[in-house]
Amino acid sequence: MSDLELLQRRLERERSARKQAEALIEAKSRELFFVNEELRRLNENLEELVAERTAQLGERSAQLEESLSQISAILESISDGLLATDNDGLVVRTNRALERLFNVDEGALGRPVAPVLGAAFGDLFAAADEGELLRGGRVELELPLPGARIGKVTLRAILSLGPEPAAIGRLLLIRDITREKEIDQMKTDFISNVSHELRTPLTSVLGFAKIIRKRLTESVLPALPAADQRAQRAARQAADNVSIIVQEGERLTSLINDVLDIAKMEAGKIEWKREPLAIGEVIERAFTATRALFDQSGLEAVLEIEPGLPTVEADRDRLLQVLLNLISNAVKFSERGAVTGRTRLDPERGEIVVSIVDTGVGIAPDEVGAVFDKFRQVGETLTDKPKGTGLGLSICRQIVEHHRGRIWVESTLGEGSTFSFTLPLRDPRRLRTRTVDLPQLLARLESAAPLGGARSERPLVLVADDEPHIRGLLRQELEAAGYRVVEAEDGLSAIQRVKESHPDLVVLDVMMPKISGFDVAAVIKNDPVTMETPIVILSIVDDPVRGDNIGVDTYLAKPIQIDALLAEIRRLLERGASRRRVMIIDDERPTLEQLHRLLETRGHSVVAVWDAREGIARAKALKPDLIIVDQLVSDQHRLIQALEFEKELEHVLFLLVAEGSEGG
């Protein structure tokens, strides 16, 4: 085989291989073309699809945007301020109302609550009970807003929707209730004004009705000839009718008092006293005061008071009001059986439970929940004669709740009811008991040199009131009781009369033209000549504290309870001879109040101060017969030494009261 042949064969093979390769390339090119075509078509499809999806997305996002802007518009249209935070307490949303209320802008977003709304709101967020919020609970309270406005604030958790809601933040709603508060205040003022306006004529109606009744029974009836039966009967009937006027007048008075009480409590206008007291003693007093009711009804009064109960801190008069209300209700709704006053100590809850148990008609189960509502009367209003104002229990509830207690009723229809309330025990850390030997102290006080002069046979009483009816009524009653009377129709003439005729006692109205009763009292009490003259304030203005500060001896509320007034006048005039002016200086208010009360019930005039420096100044002005000083206060301020060097106080008796002892 020659080289040439070999080369030719190789060439032939290479050519053939080249052709194969060319054919392959051509096939591949064709394939590529078709693949390209396919790719182009796919690309077009894809573009169509993308455009379609983009349009859908755009539509969806427009819908979302619309619904978002709708939600925003709703939030912005809410007239309450709205603020939402995330779980870290950072602000995520506010609305215009809130921005206006707090004068903030969108800059609030992303910041904590306290610097945006104020520390009080920060505290609210911090103090809210987490678990309670997560259970869907809310915190509601009133907080001051900027610009002397008041807001009603509601805080709750924002819970996610779905089967297992989780908190995604907090929501705060703030309603500006300044206007509502103002209107509420106007309503309260209106009620109290109307009540005052009602009481003035009622005082005359009631007073004169009583005088007519007295005249009828004491003067007219005995004077009628016994034979003239017609005249006798007519006069007796007239006396009965007048009695009904008196009864209804008294009912109307207590209704007005209740309405006024409720209005004052709701407006927060009551001044609450707090003193340590033994609840058993208050219950006993309540039962004593209602003895007449028991005598009339034939019901038995039972006391079940646990011995050795700790004291509670409460307003004695208000608690008495609650008890009187519950007891008189119990008597009213019981025909036979007993009314029981019961106490029980619940050491676990740290409270005393007081119950008034009756054997009366009971309350239907569906009415039990409503008895503490205002104007609620148990029973059918159309057929049962209402026996009260329907405000008593509502007042009770307000009083008890003010003492941080609870009030409730358990009842079985036909078997009786048990009204119970709780009083929390005092914080034991604040208890600091002190024993003062009071009887010994009083004995020492009363054995000190007597003061005062003899009074005339028929004491002269000045009656100052701008209402001629009231003056007339008082004149009749006082003269009937054996007093001489001089009248004054306003404050200015009252002061003149005091200076001219030196009355033995002054009865003052507060609201008088020219000079008010308080100012008249202040003038009398500051004049050395007249300062000893006892003053009785008789007014519809219920401000005994102010009266007390001026030195008014007795403060009585209108409508006039003639018997109480006469008793008070008698007491004050009799006291003149044996009465001591006592001053107590102590920094412990409970001790001070206890002494104060005790000495006052003994007829002494008491001034209490709890500041040593004030004590010195007041002692110089008042020149008391006795100064009782707490040992500690005296030591701290060298008080006795300071007082003894005062010229006009050299005859003053000092009593030093120390822990567990007493000395002079």
Partner 1 sequence: MKGVVFTEFLELVETAFSPEVADRIITRADVPSGGAYTAVGTYDHHEMLALVTELARETGVPAANLVHTFGKHLFSRFVVGFPAFFQVPSAFDFLERVHDYIHVEVRKLYSDAELPSFEYARPDDATLVMTYRSRRPFADLAAGLIDAAVEHWGGGVDVVREALDDPERTAVQFTLTRRPAASAS
Residues 280-339 that bind partner 1 (CB under 8 A): none
SS3 at position 578? helix
Q: How far is the CB of 46 from partner 1 (least distance, A)?
A: 22
Contact status, residue 391 vs residue 259, Cβ threshold 8 Å: yes
Cβ-proximal residues to 461 (8 Å cutoff; 6+ apart), any chain: 478, 483, 484, 485, 486, 503, 504, 505, 506, 507, 569
> Structure tokens of 344?
């029980």
Contact yes or no for 328/251 (Cβ under 8 A): no
Residues 467-506 that bind partner 1 (CB under 8 A): none
Shortest spacing between CB 40 and partner 1, in angstroms: 21
Cβ neighbour number for residue 642 with a 10 Å cutoff: 16
Report the residue number, 9 or 404, with the smaller CB distance to partner 1.
9
Please say which residue, 16 or 549, places its beta carbon nearer to partner 1.
16
Nearer to partner 1 (CB atom), residue 24 or residue 303: 24
Smallest separation, CB 39 to partner 1 (Å): 16
Q: Name the segment binding partner 1 (CB under 8 A); options: 1-9, 141-149, 189-197, 616-624.
A: 1-9
Site string for partner 1, 406-445 (x = CB under 8 A): ----------------------------------------
Tokens encoding 287: 């039962």
The site map against partner 1 for 2-41 (x = CB under 8 A) is ----x--xx-xxxxxxx-xx--xx----------------
Q: What is the CA radius of gyration of the chain?
A: 42
Which candidate, 580, 626, 577, places its Cα nearest to that of 602?
A: 580
31/182 with CB nearer partner 1: 31
- Comparison of 9 and 179: residue with beta carbon closer to partner 1: 9
Instruction: Kindly state the DSSP code that residue 311 receives in the 8-state scheme.
Output: P
Query: SS3 helix, strand, coil % of the chain, rounded to 5?
Result: 55, 20, 30
DSSP letters, 19-49, are: HHHHHHHHHHHHHHHHHHHHHHHHHHHHHHH
Q: Which of 375, 399, 380 is nearest to 255 (CA)?
A: 375
Give the phi and the psi of residue 561 in degrees, each rounded to 5: -95, 100
- Tell me the C-alpha to C-alpha distance, in Å, between residue 598 and each of 276, 369, 463, 535, 582: 14, 41, 30, 21, 12
Closer to partner 1 at the Cβ: 21 or 74?
21
534 close to 514: Cβ distance less than 8 angstroms: no
Pick 8 or 578: Cβ nearer partner 1: 8
DSSP bridge pairs for 174: 81, 153
Q: Which is closer to partner 1, CB of 5 or CB of 380?
A: 5
Least gap, CB of 8 to partner 1 (angstroms) = 10
Please report how close the Cβ of residue 38 comes to partner 1 at its closest, in angstroms: 15
* Residue 34 Cβ vs partner 1, minimum distance, rounded to whole Å: 14
User: Which residues in the 75-104 window bind partner 1 by CB under 8 A?
Assistant: none
- Smaller CB separation from partner 1, 22 or 182: 22
Q: Please, what is the angle between helix 316-332 and helix 279-289, to 10°?
A: 50
Helix axes 178-215, 229-266, angle to 10 degrees: 160
Nearest to 317, CA basis, from 414, 427, 395? 395
Cβ at position 131, least distance to partner 1 in Å: 57
SS3 (DSSP) at 272? coil
Minimum CB–partner distance for residue 27 and partner 1 (Å): 11
Give the binding-site size for partner 1 (rule: CB under 8 A).
15
Smallest separation, CB 43 to partner 1 (Å)? 20
The span from the CA of 602 to the CA of 274, in Å, is 22
Query: In whole angstroms, how close is the CB of 9 to partner 1 at the nearest point?
Result: 6
| 1 or 449: CB nearest partner 1 | 1
Give the shortest CB-3-to-partner 1 separation in angstroms.
9
Q: In the bound complex, what is the minimum distance in angstroms from residue 36's beta carbon to partner 1? A: 17
- In the sheet with 626-630, reading across from the earlier edge strand, the strands are 605-609, 581-585, 626-630, 653-658, 661-663
CB-wise, 18 or 60, nearer to partner 1? 18
| CA 548 to chain CA mean position, Å | 22
Nearer of residues 20 and 381 to partner 1, judged by Cβ: 20
Q: Is the distance from CB of 462 to CB of 501 less than 8 angstroms?
A: yes
Q: Is 240 in the site for partner 1 (CB under 8 A)?
A: no
Contact track, partner 1, 598-627, x by CB under 8 A:
------------------------------
CB nearer to partner 1: pick between 14 and 300: 14
Provide, rounded to whole angstroms, the least separation between the CB of residue 13 and partner 1: 4
CB 7 within 8 A of CB 14: no
Three-state helix/strand/coil letters over 159-182: ECCCCCCCEEEEEEEEEECHHHHH
Give the pair of three-digit tokens for residue 81: 């301020």
Rounded CA separation 419/619 (Å): 48
User: Which residues of this chain interact with partner 1, rule CB under 8 A?
Assistant: 1, 6, 9-10, 12-18, 20-21, 24-25
